[in-house]
Amino acid sequence: MAERVLVSGANGFVGRVVCRRLLQGGDAPVAGIRHTRQWAALQQSVPGLRESAVLGDLGNNPDLRASLRNVSAVVHAAARLDETPDAPGNSLQEYRRVNVEGTKTLALAAAEQGVRRLVFVSSTKVNGEWTNHSPFTEETPPSPQDMYAISKWEAEESLRSIAAKTGIEVAIVRPPLVYGPRVGANFLRLMSMVEKGLPLPLPDTGNRRSMISVDNLADILVCCVNHPGALNQTFMASDGEDVSTRELIKRLAGFLNRTARFLPIPASIMRLAGKLLRREGAVNRLLDSLTIDSTKARLKLDWAPPLSLDEGLAGTARWYLESLSRPSRPERI
C-alpha cells in the first residue's frame, strides 16, 4: 500500500528529486510548498505529482495539522541555505528561526498527528569545514563553523530531544556537497567557467573532496523513510569516490566537451585573495580536503549509491548544456 510522505521544500533542488523517487517506489508524496504559486511549476517538473500542502514559513510557527493528517512519514528538506552568507538579513538568529525553530515546529506537529518517522536533511558541515587524514564519520565530534552549520546541528539536537519525548522516529542524513541537474550557487558558476573555457586559478594541492549527486541523496532519504535500520540514526552519505578539485574540473570539462585549463597560482596567493575579497570559505573549499565515510549507511541500510560519480557528473553536464539552448540561462528554482 502506498504511503503518504510529506516532503517539505518539495519545490527545491533536493525536494523535487525526493518526490520523483517516492513516486518511482510506488508511494504518494505530498509536496510541501511555501506558496500556492509554486504548485503549477512543480507539477510540470515532477510528472505524476498529485497532492500538495501549503506549509507557509515554518519559522513563523504555522498550523500544520491539516497538512500532516494521514501522513505516515516526513522528509524535511526545506531550509535556509548557506549559499549566500553575505545576503542582506542573514544572521544566526534568522538561520535559527528557519532551520531550528521551523524544524521543531514541523516535528512537534508531526508527532501530534501520529506521523511515524521524520527524515531530516542535515549537512556534513555539522562536523566541520575540512578533514586532514581521516574522513568524517557519524562518531566525529560536531564542530560547526558557520551560521548554517550551527543551525543544522541545533536542529539535529532538537529532533533527538523531540524523538525522546514523543516517540516519533527520526533519521538524519548528513550529505557533503550536493550536485546534479538544476544545481545552483558555486557548482553552477564552476560549470559555467569550465564550459566557457576560462583558465582557472587553481593550484594542485592534492586535496580530496566527497560529493553526492542529488539522485543518490534522494535515494538514501527515501530508504530512510521505511528501513528499520534507520530508526533514530544519523548517516553520512556520498557517491563513494573522492576526487581532488582539479580532477573534478577535468571530469566536468570532459563531459562539457571542453579541456580544463589552469593558471599556476600558489595556494598562498589564492588564500590571501580569498581573505581580501571576503570569499575565504569558498577558496578554502577549492583548496582543502573534506571527505566522509558512508560505511554505516552501507552496512545498516544495505545502501549503495545508484549512480557513480561519473554518471552523476555526466547527467549534470548534460542538463547544463541543454539549458544553454533555452531562452534563459540555467537557474535553480
Query: What's the pLDDT tens digit per position in 171-189?
Result: 999 999 999 999 988 899 9
pLDDT-based confidence at 332, cuts 50/70/90?
very low
The model's pLDDT over 204-252, given as tens digits with 9 standing for 90+, comes to: 898 999 999 999 999 999 999 999 999 999 999 999 999 999 999 999 9
DSSP for 253-295, please give it. HHHTT----EE---HHHHHHHHHHTT-HHHHHHHHS-B-B--H
Residue 36: exposed, middle, or buried by beta-carbon count in 10 A (0-12, 13-18, 19+)?
Answer: exposed
**Long-range contacts of 85-93, Cβ-Cβ distance < 8 Å, separation of 24 or more:** 85/146, 85/147, 85/148, 85/281, 86/278, 90/147, 91/147, 92/147, 92/150, 92/151
Task: State residue 295 phi and psi, 5-degree precision.
Answer: -60, -40
Please give the CATH superfamily to which domain 4-182+209-241+291-307 belongs. Answer: NAD(P)-binding Rossmann-like Domain (3.40.50.720)
* Catalytic annotation, pick one of 95, 148, 179, 320: 148
Q: For this structure, is 95 an active site residue?
A: no
What pLDDT is stored for residue 264 in this prediction? 85
- Rounded Cα distance between 3 and 13, Å, is 22
Q: Mind listing the pLDDT tens digit for each residue in 68-91? A: 999 999 999 999 987 655 666 789
Burial bucket for residue 268 (CB in 10 Å: 0-12, 13-18, 19+): exposed
- The per-residue pLDDT of the chain, averaged, comes to 93
pLDDT at 85 (0 to 100): 58
**Domain spans of the chain?**
4-182+209-241+291-307
Q: What would the grid cell of residue 214 be?
A: 542529488
Q: Is the pTM of this model over 0.75?
A: yes
Say if strands 117-121 and 73-76 run parallel, antiparallel, or are unpaired.
parallel
**CA 172 to CA 181: how far, in whole Å?**
24
Which is it for the CA torsion 323, 327, 332, 333, positive or negative?
A: negative
Residues 4 and 71 sit within 8 Å (Cβ to Cβ): yes
CA end-to-end distance (rounded Å), the chain: 32
pLDDT of 24 > 50? The answer is yes
